[in-house]
Amino acid sequence: MTNWIDELKKAVEADFDYIKEIRRDLHRHPELAREEFRTQQRIEEELDKLGIPHWRSAETGVVARLSGSRPVPVAWEKEQKPRCLILRADIDALPVQEMHETEYKSEVPGKMHACGHDAHTAALIGTARMLSRRRDLFAGDVYLMWQPGEEIGYGAAVMIEEGQLAFGTRCFGLHMASDIPVGSVVLMPGPNNASVDWFRISVEGVGAHVSTPQKGVDAAYIAAQILIGLQALVSRMSSPMDNLLIGVGKICAGTAYNIVADHAELEGTVRSLDPELRKLTRERMERLASETAEIYGGTAKIEWADYTSVLVNSEGPTAEAQKIATELFGPEKVITFRRPALGGDDMAEFINRVPGCYAYIGSSNPDIPETEVAHHNSSFDIDEKALSVSVLLTSAYALSYMSAEKGEEEGKPAYLYRPDACPCPRGGEVNCPRYRNCSACIRYHRGKETNCFTACERKAMEKSAR
């Protein structure tokens, strides 16, 4: 293994300026969730230069497929599906005014890459370049996915709904970490990030003059009781050993100082590391809100939005990533345990469907104080050495999982393993006999290795090209 790793390290070093330039360009031009049009274009341009076929996904995202040129090892046939790796990067920025003065400072007022997604995007382009030059080292397909709208819990669910993950047998993603020194990585099995639910509790009362409260139903008072009650669900009804957070960030009620409020609203979030507790908390909150309102003669209802599930790193894939990271960076740089974060990441939805691993890449450097501030802070920045670490880890992980070991018996070429049916679950296409048996589809599947796409992928490519 050491030979190709040394060679890869040198290649990533040589590409550092290329990756850095892309990151800085994206940093100057941040785009919010679901508006990543320029970012999408930049990704597509780089993929075109590399000759990697790609198509659009979730409107402002990009999916690209890179096929290895080695035949699939016979041993893979015993596995349920032929191996297919999904590499994911999130691409959106935040509504924050950048305060840190640098030559690559955001040129868009009120928007900035304050979470490091510019680095994730650039690093995955760097990885595409590494892998595209080493097709002879791996078999099967690697799908590279630039996901939009992570900050609003949007993109992952849409990409899944589109069927982009259909072939995946393994996935990998990463995030910058300003609390970890650059050069180190965190690879921890089990829960890493909390589930995220958004909620709004609307309380309906009856208006009256404040001097005659008995003639009204005070929605402000009911909302206050619910607000207090919510914290009892955390501190009195859940174990202190459990990880549960209920935060109300916004509360409003009433119209004037001398009118009993007929309406009140509480808006907040529930975070948990335990899917069962998450479900139970939802039920308890529904009951608490409606019964509290009832006691005082009002009504309450809760609206929910499921932003993301708990991010649970799969055991096996994480152990493999730890092994590779140890070989790349040395054991002292590989952190295998740290306290999980109550911030969410919708990479969780990918790992929920395809076993995988999500890494934290250290990005802080005490000589650059801005690299040590919290994510989403207006001074946030990274030590750009984290870009090299990201590309190296992702490329090595991909080559290790997708490589055919020397001496392994060779099977069929990868394209013969692709299913005839289009995996797209949209609009009935997955079961549509037109696609299942369509001659065009079969022609693509049996065609030349690099031009072999499912009907849906081909349609998506044609649409993106327009």
The sheet carrying 263-272 orders its strands as: 244-253, 263-272, 195-204, 299-308
Identify which of residues 90 and 429 has a Cβ nearer to Zn ion in the complex.
90
The distance of closest approach from Cβ of residue 175 to Zn ion in the complex, given in angstroms and rounded to an integer, is 6
Q: Does 396 bind Zn ion (CB under 5 A)?
A: no
Q: Does 452 bind Zn ion (CB under 5 A)?
A: no
Which two three-digit tokens encode residue 130?
């590494």
Q: How far is residue 217's CA from residue 358's CA, in Å, rounded to a whole number?
A: 49
Backbone angles phi, psi at 2, to 5 degrees: -55, -35
Contacting range for Zn ion; rule: CB under 5 A; set: 110-118, 141-149, 245-253, 359-367: 110-118
| Number of other CB atoms surrounding residue 50 within 10 Å | 16
Q: What angle do CA 464, 42, 351 make, to 5 degrees?
A: 75
Contacting range for Zn ion; rule: CB under 5 A; set: 112-120, 205-213, 248-256, 322-330: 112-120
Residues 343-362, mask of contacts with Zn ion (x by CB under 5 A): --------------------
Which two three-digit tokens encode residue 366?
């005490």
* Chain position whose Cβ is nearest to Zn ion: 115
Q: How far is residue 360's CA from residue 373's CA, in Å, rounded to a whole number?
A: 16
Determine the straight-line distance between the first and last CA of the chain, rounded to whole angstroms.
Answer: 43
Chain centroid, CA 9 distance in Å: 26
The distance of closest approach from Cβ of residue 403 to Zn ion in the complex, given in angstroms and rounded to an integer, is 30
Identify which of residues 22 and 115 has a Cβ nearer to Zn ion in the complex.
115
The distance of closest approach from Cβ of residue 395 to Zn ion in the complex, given in angstroms and rounded to an integer, is 21
The distance of closest approach from Cβ of residue 146 to Zn ion in the complex, given in angstroms and rounded to an integer, is 14
Contacting range for Zn ion; rule: CB under 5 A; set: 107-115, 198-206, 266-274, 355-363: 107-115
The distance of closest approach from Cβ of residue 178 to Zn ion in the complex, given in angstroms and rounded to an integer, is 11
Identify which of residues 72 and 115 has a Cβ nearer to Zn ion in the complex.
115
Identify which of residues 115 and 311 has a Cβ nearer to Zn ion in the complex.
115
Identify which of residues 67 and 364 has a Cβ nearer to Zn ion in the complex.
364
Amino acid at 353: R
Contacting range for Zn ion; rule: CB under 5 A; set: 111-119, 209-217, 402-410, 440-448: 111-119
Chain centroid, CA 465 distance in Å: 26
Identify which of residues 73 and 153 has a Cβ nearer to Zn ion in the complex.
153
Identify which of residues 144 and 176 has a Cβ nearer to Zn ion in the complex.
176
Q: Find all residues with CB under 8 Å of 325, minimum gap 6, and list them.
A: 185, 187, 333, 334, 359, 393
Residue 398 near residue 85, CB atoms below 8 Å: yes
Q: Does 115 bind Zn ion (CB under 5 A)?
A: yes
Task: With CB under 5 A as the rule, give the number of residues binding Zn ion.
Answer: 1
The distance of closest approach from Cβ of residue 164 to Zn ion in the complex, given in angstroms and rounded to an integer, is 20
Amino acid at 7: E
Q: What angle do CA 50, 161, 145 make, to 5 degrees?
A: 20
Identify which of residues 47 and 115 has a Cβ nearer to Zn ion in the complex.
115
The distance of closest approach from Cβ of residue 345 to Zn ion in the complex, given in angstroms and rounded to an integer, is 6
The distance of closest approach from Cβ of residue 361 to Zn ion in the complex, given in angstroms and rounded to an integer, is 12
Q: How far is residue 90's CA from residue 156's CA, in Å, rounded to a whole number?
A: 9
Which two three-digit tokens encode residue 53?
């076929």
The distance of closest approach from Cβ of residue 305 to Zn ion in the complex, given in angstroms and rounded to an integer, is 17
Q: Find all residues with CB under 8 Å of 362, minimum gap 6, and list them.
A: 177, 180, 181, 182, 183, 184, 185, 186, 386, 389
Contacting range for Zn ion; rule: CB under 5 A; set: 108-116, 179-187, 379-387, 422-430: 108-116
Residue in 204, 214, 200, 206 with CA at minimum distance from that of residue 264:
204
Identify which of residues 261 and 347 has a Cβ nearer to Zn ion in the complex.
347
Identify which of residues 43 and 91 has a Cβ nearer to Zn ion in the complex.
91
Residue in 329, 399, 322, 310 with CA at minimum distance from that of residue 359:
322
Longest dimension (CA), the chain: 88
The distance of closest approach from Cβ of residue 173 to Zn ion in the complex, given in angstroms and rounded to an integer, is 11
Residues at the site binding Zn ion, with contacts judged by CB under 5 A: 115
